[in-house]
């Protein structure tokens, strides 16, 4: 994922809500979000190049999402896949990633959540694990809640949705389509490590080489009833498919 907004225990109806876009090279192969054949309790897309996934949920009561961290150069090939972090959490191999050696991965940000807690983990400038208090958070390819314009814009859209007590999480997909840069926020200090991405990019990136590949919304209410929706896009920015899966957590 490259931009997301995350509401953790911030609303009387919703246990958590997440809305985010995955930006990636269009040539990189990926499988759509679905239940995994070998682990039907896991619902996620799949990176078919390095393995793992960028975002998913498990009916065992886990959520995980990862973003790359800008300003540290291109990934070192012999390091462990960042997508494996998400897959390991969803599989229950490390529910809060607390036992993982974070330094052996390329630079990343990771949010993990379950029925009782949410945590933010990163490995730059040093491995750090932080418990998240109830609230609304924004994350892109910088620090948690770093005020990039697109991150602030998406956080505001999620707050607006929550304040209007809307019942339909699908409405958040429209916020993830914004190609307009807001007139507030702070530009990233470091340029993107991806040459095709400008220093300052909108929530939705339309580019024939590197752009928004999919938009995902996860919503879990206080009774544990959950929904995950993924909408996929081609290199021209046109929607080409949408998957939706319901699930349940024991809260």
Phi, psi of 86 (to 5 degrees): -65, -45
Phi, psi of 152 (to 5 degrees): -65, -40
3 state SS of 82 = helix
Query: What is the domain range of residue 187?
Result: 3-248
Distances (CA, A) of 115 to 9, 35, 47, 153, 208: 10, 20, 26, 28, 39
Q: Can you give the pLDDT of all 251 residues of the chain as single tens digits? A: 799 999 999 999 999 999 999 999 999 999 999 999 999 999 999 999 988 999 999 999 999 999 999 877 666 777 778 888 899 999 986 545 566 778 788 899 999 999 999 999 999 888 899 999 999 999 999 999 999 999 999 999 999 999 997 789 999 999 999 999 999 999 998 888 888 888 899 999 999 999 999 999 999 999 999 999 999 999 999 999 999 999 999 98
Indicate yes or no: pTM above 0.85: yes
Q: How far is the C-alpha of 69 from the C-alpha of 87, rounded, in Å? A: 19
Q: How far is the C-alpha of 49 from the C-alpha of 218, rounded, in Å? A: 25
Count of domains forming the chain: 1
Which among 198, 179, 192, 150 is positioned nearest to 237, based on CA atoms? 179
Predicted confidence at residue 99, as pLDDT, reads: 63
CATH assignment of the domain containing 212 = 3.60.60.10
């Amino acid at each position: 994922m490259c931009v997301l907004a995350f509401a953790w225990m911030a609303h009387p109806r919703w246990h958590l809500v997440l809305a985010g876009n995955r930006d990636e090279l269009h040539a990189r192969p990926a499988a759509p979000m679905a239940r995994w054949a070998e682990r039907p309790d896991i619902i996620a897309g799949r990176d078919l190049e390095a393995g793992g996934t960028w975002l998913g949920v498990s009916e065992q009561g886990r959520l995980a999402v990862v973003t790359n961290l800008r300003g540290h150069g291109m990934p070192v090939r012999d390091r462990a896949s960042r997508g494996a972090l998400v897959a390991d959490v969803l599989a229950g191999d490390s529910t809060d990633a607390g036992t993982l050696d974070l330094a052996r991965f390329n630079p990343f940000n990771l949010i993990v959540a379950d029925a009782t807690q949410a945590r933010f983990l990163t490995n730059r400038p040093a491995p750090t694990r932080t418990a998240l208090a109830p609230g609304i958070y924004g994350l892109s390819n910088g620090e948690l809640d770093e005020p990039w314009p697109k991150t602030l814009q998406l956080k505001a859209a999620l707050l607006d949705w929550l304040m209007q007590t809307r019942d339909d999480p699908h409405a958040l997909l429209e916020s993830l389509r914004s190609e307009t840069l807001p007139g507030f926020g702070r530009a990233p200090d470091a340029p993107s490590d991806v040459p095709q991405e400008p220093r300052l990019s909108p929530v939705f990136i339309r580019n024939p080489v590197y752009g928004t590949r999919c938009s995902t919304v996860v919503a879990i209410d206080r009774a544990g009833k959950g929904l995950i929706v993924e909408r996929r896009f081609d290199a021209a920015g046109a929607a080409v498919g949408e998957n939706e899966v319901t699930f349940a957590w024991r809260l």
